[in-house]
């Protein structure tokens, strides 16, 4: 039987072990070289002046709405206008039955004659001062009633405007509904509910932009005309009325409007929209900030959008380096390589 020397075998084992160890190092280096860092481009956050513009939705309303109806019911003899008619202040619109007016006119004429006769008697001592005063009081009451009947027999428009409703025809007896509705539409007004955080910033006369979809998105210039003094305790908003000139009457009550109000300027980060990502399954927005060669997941709150950039209300600071390219598929803490 052939015998092998331990001295001859041992060097062979040593060589094999060394070869094995050397081969393992080369494999590990190859794997390390295969793992490459994600290449990204970054944008440094800088604070810039950003107009604090808020947009509200609203409906155009008439500046003033008047319902034309007599103080007491009666038969309608004539209606001189129809829906869509332009009317002016003081224009006669409706004539009611004049029977009561004629009776009152006769009574006033009689009381006037009586009063004149009483004056003559008083001057010659035929009656007392008290009797003369009583006659004058009766005449005054009758004349007041006559004026009231006259106002409720010929109904006039209290404003310049347009007829927007007509509920009766001649011969009808006026009931609970108004005979006509007149709306003043120059100017028109728009009401919006503004967050209480802006209460100290809204002032009367403040310029406002009103955009109307029905007119192709045309923008009209208005101003704050009234600030309601109380706030809604549930929504924590207050009502602001905006007056918009409407000389050509293109704006009509009922139109949908978007109202833009500028509440001043704040220094805020302005960031490319490419950097902002949406969290799946929620409305959260986030970015990745490059820090010490790693991508850091950062939630942000967006403000207004200006062209291709977003105002960042919170989440970023001046000087932060935000990844704007190569951010898709990143995870928090992964190593990245910044390229120019």
Residue 291 CB coordination number (10 Å): 12
Q: Which segment of 27-31, 34-38, 276-280 scores lowest on mean pLDDT?
A: 27-31
Let me know if 298 is exposed, middle or buried by CB neighbors in 10 A (0-12, 13-18, 19+): middle
* Confidence tier at 125 by pLDDT (50, 70, 90): confident
pLDDT at position 306 is 81
Domains of the chain: 38-50+267-338 (2.40.420.20), 55-61+185-265 (2.40.30.170), 69-166 (no CATH)
The dihedrals phi and psi of 3, each to the nearest 5 degrees, come to -110, 145
Model confidence at 93: pLDDT above 50: yes
Length of the chain counted residue by residue: 340
pLDDT at position 307 is 84
177-196 residue pLDDT tens: 999 999 999 999 999 999 99
47-63 residue pLDDT tens: 888 878 889 999 999 99
Model confidence at 197: pLDDT above 50: yes
Torsion of CA 13, 19, 22, 28, to 10 degrees: -100
61-76 residue pLDDT tens: 999 999 999 988 889 9
Higher-pLDDT residue of 307, 1: 307
Higher-pLDDT residue of 297, 146: 297
232-271 residue pLDDT tens: 999 999 999 999 999 999 999 999 999 999 888 888 888 8
Model confidence at 28: pLDDT above 70: no
Model confidence at 26: pLDDT above 50: no
* Confidence tier at 95 by pLDDT (50, 70, 90): very high
Q: Catalogue the E-assigned strands of the chain.
A: 38-44, 47-68, 76-79, 86-87, 92-96, 154-156, 161-166, 180-195, 207-212, 218-231, 237-244, 256-272, 277-278, 285-291, 294-306, 309-314, 321-325, 336-338
Parallel, antiparallel, or unpaired for β 161-166 and 86-87? antiparallel
pLDDT at position 163 is 96
Q: Are 96 and 79 in contact (CB under 8 A)?
A: no
The dihedrals phi and psi of 24, each to the nearest 5 degrees, come to -65, -40
- Which residue's entry shows tokens 């793992």? 35
Closest alpha carbon to 242 in 187, 162, 160: 187
Question: What is the CB-side half-sphere exposure of residue 232 using CA atoms within 13 A?
Answer: 11
């Amino acid at each position: 039987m052939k015998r092998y020397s331990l001295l001859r075998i041992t060097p062979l084992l040593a060589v094999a072990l060394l070869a094995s160890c050397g081969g393992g190092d080369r494999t590990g280096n190859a794997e390390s070289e295969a793992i490459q860092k994600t290449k990204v481009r970054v944008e440094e956050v800088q604070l810039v002046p950003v107009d604090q513009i808020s947009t509200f939705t609203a409906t155009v309303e008439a500046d003033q709405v008047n319902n034309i109806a007599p103080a007491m019911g009666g038969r309608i003899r004539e209606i001189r206008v129809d829906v869509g008619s332009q009317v002016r202040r003081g224009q006669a619109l409706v004539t009611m039955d004049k029977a009561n007016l004629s009776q009152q006119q006769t009574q006033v004429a009689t009381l006037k004659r009586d009063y004149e006769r009483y004056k003559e008697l008083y001057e010659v001592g035929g009656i007392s001062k008290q009797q003369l005063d009583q006659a004058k009081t009766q005449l005054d009451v009758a004349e007041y009633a006559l004026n009231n009947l006259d106002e409720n027999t010929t109904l006039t428009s209290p404003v310049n405007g347009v007829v927007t409703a007509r509920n009766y025809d001649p011969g009808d007896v006026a009931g609970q509904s108004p005979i006509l509705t007149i709306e003043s539409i120059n100017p028109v007004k728009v009401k919006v509910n503004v967050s209480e955080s802006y209460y100290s910033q809204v002032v009367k006369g403040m310029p406002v932009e009103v955009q109307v979809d029905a007119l192709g998105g045309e923008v009209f210039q208005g101003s704050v005309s009234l600030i309601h003094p109380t706030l809604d305790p549930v929504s924590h908003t207050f009502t602001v009325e905006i007056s918009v000139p409407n000389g050509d009457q293109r704006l009509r009550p009922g139109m949908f409007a978007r109202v833009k109000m500028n509440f001043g300027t704040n220094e805020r980060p302005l960031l490319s929209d490419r950097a902002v990502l949406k969290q799946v399954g929620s409305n959260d927005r986030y970015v990745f900030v490059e820090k010490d060669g790693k991508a850091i997941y950062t939630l942000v709150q967006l403000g207004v959008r200006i062209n291709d950039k977003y105002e960042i209300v919170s989440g970023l600071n001046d000087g932060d380096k935000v990844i704007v390219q190569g951010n898709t598929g990143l995870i928090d803490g992964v190593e990245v390589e910044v390229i120019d």
